[in-house]
Chains A and B, each alone.
Chain A
Amino acid sequence: MGVVVKKVELSWLDRTYVWPVMKGMGITLRHFFRQLFTPTAKRYTIQYPDMKKEMPEGYRGLHELKRFEDGAIKCVACFMCQEACPARCISIEAEEFSDLNITQGFEEKRPAKFSIDMLRCIYCGMCEEACPKDAIWLRKDYEVAAYDRLAMQYGKWDLMNTYAKADGKENISEDPTPSVPRRTIAL
């Protein structure tokens, strides 16, 4: 069974071709002038290096390792994110630290090393989902680029400082509580 294609009946004015062309030119001219007199900020085009796109809520950009007020890392090195990561790009090394472990045998954990290979990361957000401490967030920075591969290996301090400037915080490179050599005192 064939399909009956309905032909559009053109009026004599449309058949002349001149009139529809003029109508079309009117439309394009309207666009031209609208674009000409729109200030740059209101145009559709975002002129990238000068202007940046505001990413929507829920955008998954570069990671941040969250910190407490005093600069201590929120992450407790539970390895949940490492397990959840489908790209297997997180690697963590845990360490113990606490003043309390001397007196009460009470220990706390934190990552000694925490690195994400941004070249392998697929920004799926699984690490954020898995984290029980809300310690790792994927935020809105999308300018993840570097000149060599090594620079794309983000370490613990890189990850803690990724949004420091944007949030107006200090860059940190030291834990407020010094780490305790393992099992030296607590025994």
Chain B
Amino acid sequence: MDKLASLLHTSPAIAWMVAKLVIVFGGVFSLAALWTWVERRGAAMIQDRIGPNRAALFGKIKIIGLAQPLADGIKFFFKEDLVPNDANKGLFWLAPFLALVPALMGFAVIPFGRSFVSGGHEYHMALLDPGNGMGLLYPLAIGGMAVYGVLVAAWSSNNKWAILGGMRSSATMVSYEIGMSLAVVTIFMTAGGYDPSEVIKAQGHLPWAWNIVRQPLGFIVFFTCMFAETNRLPFDFAEGESEIVAGFNTEYGSMKFSLLALSEYCHLMTASALIATLYFGGWQVPFMQNPPVMLSVASFLVKMLFFAWVFVWIRWTLPRFRYDQLMHLGWKAMLPMSMVNLVFHAWRMSQGH
């Protein structure tokens, strides 16, 4: 890293920052693109079909259809970019970015590997170094911003189906945010801090000391809320093709549509990273005190991708909820459960000290 930095006439800190930027955002972005393929392939397999397996590079190299996202991307780029006549043009343009940027930004504080020291510098495997004062409050706040992407997309396209979808999904996001935040607060409480590195350190390397074992109730609440937050089935009220055409992105086409779709997958990646960090020990490798850096990154990736897969898996298992069931679940089940979780752990901590 030092060598590279001197080659580029910058300080190691800046070189590392740039490298991290490229790795994290490039990585998340390409994983999200890849996940569109995983989703379709997984869905097909679950339904005893085969799925997209024919897209080939140069018409020849057909690696189980992995070129599909590429082909989709090219197709989306070359499609006609329509803007409805009566749409609010500015916001219509802005909405895909409003959806995509927060979905990517949430990843910034999540440590994806163990910090290491080299050449007298300490390198942290997270875009924002620990101790930045925001910690895990930041992805939660950014997650709240995601509502704007959906709502602005819905409102600006001047279409009643779109606005219905946007309203429904923003109501979902808002009502599930509370349960989710309370579940996370419990973790902050037991970990004694809201910095992700502290949360991970508090969980240690033993799988039975991870938060999933210590707070199973909190995990269920958080996990469910993540589905609502990312707008995925069984809570994908922004869409709902049987009821409101295509929902908030009815009027979108070409690259703008693909950005909206990608933002959902970026959101999914961030959500799985959050789940892995909060409940499954982040980059901790089971039964290993100080894992090699690469191993810790691999461990984090495995956990994150597993949860990303669970998102896909659940999507093709469960049907969509009815809207009142969703509100019922959010306010009358998730919120009390996370309250109970919070109070229980508060009580236990008060007994402990």
Q: Please provide the 8 A-B residue pairs with the shortest distance between their CB atoms, ordered closest to farther.
A: A35-B45, A28-B317, A32-B45, A28-B46, A24-B317, A45-B50, A32-B46, A25-B317
Q: B-contacting residues of A (Cβ < 8 Å)?
A: 18, 21, 24-25, 27-29, 31-32, 34-36, 40, 43-45, 47
User: Quick check: A31 and B314 within 8 Å, CB to CB?
Assistant: no
Please indicate the chain B residues that have their CB under 8 angstroms from the CB of A28 in the complex.
46, 313, 316-317
**Chain B's nearest CB lies how many Å from the CB of A51?**
11
Q: Whole-angstrom distance between the alpha carbons of A24 and B316 in the complex?
A: 10
For residue B191, CB closer than 8 A to chain A, the reply is: no
**Chain A's nearest CB lies how many Å from the CB of B283?**
26
**What's the count of A-B pairs with C-beta under 8 Å?**
40
Please indicate the chain A residues that have their CB under 8 angstroms from the CB of B317 in the complex.
21, 24-25, 27-28
Please indicate the chain A residues that have their CB under 8 angstroms from the CB of B353 in the complex.
none
Q: Whole-angstrom distance between the alpha carbons of A40 and B50 in the complex?
A: 9
Task: Show 6 residue pairs from A and B whose CB-CB distance is below 8 angstroms, ordered by the A residue.
Answer: A29-B46, A31-B48, A32-B42, A32-B46, A35-B49, A43-B50
For B310, the closest partner residue in chain A by CB is A25
Please indicate the chain B residues that have their CB under 8 angstroms from the CB of A32 in the complex.
42, 45-46, 313
Contacts of B312-338 to chain A: CB distance below 8 A: 313-314, 316-318
User: Quick check: A31 and B313 within 8 Å, CB to CB?
Assistant: no
Given A18-B220, A25-B313, is A31 in contact with B318 using a C-beta cutoff of 8 Å?
Answer: no
Q: Whole-angstrom distance between the alpha carbons of A34 and B316 in the complex?
A: 16
Please indicate the chain A residues that have their CB under 8 angstroms from the CB of B45 in the complex.
31-32, 35-36
User: Quick check: A29 and B313 within 8 Å, CB to CB?
Assistant: yes
Please indicate the chain B residues that have their CB under 8 angstroms from the CB of A47 in the complex.
50
For residue B47, CB closer than 8 A to chain A, the reply is: yes
Report which residue of B46, B47, B318 has the largest number of chain A beta carbons within 10 angstroms of its beta carbon.
B46
User: Quick check: B220 and A44 within 8 Å, CB to CB?
Assistant: no
**Chain B's nearest CB lies how many Å from the CB of A27?**
8
Select A44's contact among B48, B316, B318, beta carbons within 8 Å: B48
Select B314's contact among A25, A27, A35, A43, beta carbons within 8 Å: A25
Q: Whole-angstrom distance between the alpha carbons of A21 and B42 in the complex?
A: 18
Please indicate the chain A residues that have their CB under 8 angstroms from the CB of B314 in the complex.
21, 25
Select A35's contact among B48, B220, B316, B318, beta carbons within 8 Å: B48
User: Quick check: B46 and A31 within 8 Å, CB to CB?
Assistant: yes
Please indicate the chain B residues that have their CB under 8 angstroms from the CB of A44 in the complex.
48-49
For A35, the closest partner residue in chain B by CB is B45
**Chain A's nearest CB lies how many Å from the CB of B39?**
13
Q: Whole-angstrom distance between the alpha carbons of A43 and B50 in the complex?
A: 8
Please indicate the chain A residues that have their CB under 8 angstroms from the CB of B46 in the complex.
28-29, 31-32, 35
Q: Whole-angstrom distance between the alpha carbons of A169 and B47 in the complex?
A: 43
Beyond known contacts A25-B317, A32-B313: 4 more, CB 8 A cutoff: A25-B314, A32-B42, A35-B45, A45-B49
Contacts of B206-245 to chain A: CB distance below 8 A: 220
Please indicate the chain B residues that have their CB under 8 angstroms from the CB of A40 in the complex.
50
For A20, the closest partner residue in chain B by CB is B318
Please indicate the chain A residues that have their CB under 8 angstroms from the CB of B48 in the complex.
31, 34-35, 43-44
Q: Whole-angstrom distance between the alpha carbons of A173 and B39 in the complex?
A: 54
User: Quick check: B220 and A24 within 8 Å, CB to CB?
Assistant: no
Q: Whole-angstrom distance between the alpha carbons of A97 and B313 in the complex?
A: 72
Please indicate the chain A residues that have their CB under 8 angstroms from the CB of B49 in the complex.
35, 44-45
Contact mask for chain B residues 25-46; partner A; CB cutoff 8 A; 1 contact, 0 none? 0000000000000000010111
Report which residue of A24, A27, A28, A40 has the largest number of chain B beta carbons within 10 angstroms of its beta carbon.
A28
Please indicate the chain A residues that have their CB under 8 angstroms from the CB of B313 in the complex.
25, 28-29, 32
Please indicate the chain B residues that have their CB under 8 angstroms from the CB of A25 in the complex.
313-314, 317
Q: Whole-angstrom distance between the alpha carbons of A27 and B47 in the complex?
A: 11
For A33, the closest partner residue in chain B by CB is B45
Please indicate the chain A residues that have their CB under 8 angstroms from the CB of B47 in the complex.
31
Please indicate the chain B residues that have their CB under 8 angstroms from the CB of A31 in the complex.
45-48
Q: Whole-angstrom distance between the alpha carbons of A47 and B46 in the complex?
A: 18
**Chain A's nearest CB lies how many Å from the CB of B66?**
16
Q: Whole-angstrom distance between the alpha carbons of A29 and B220 in the complex?
A: 20
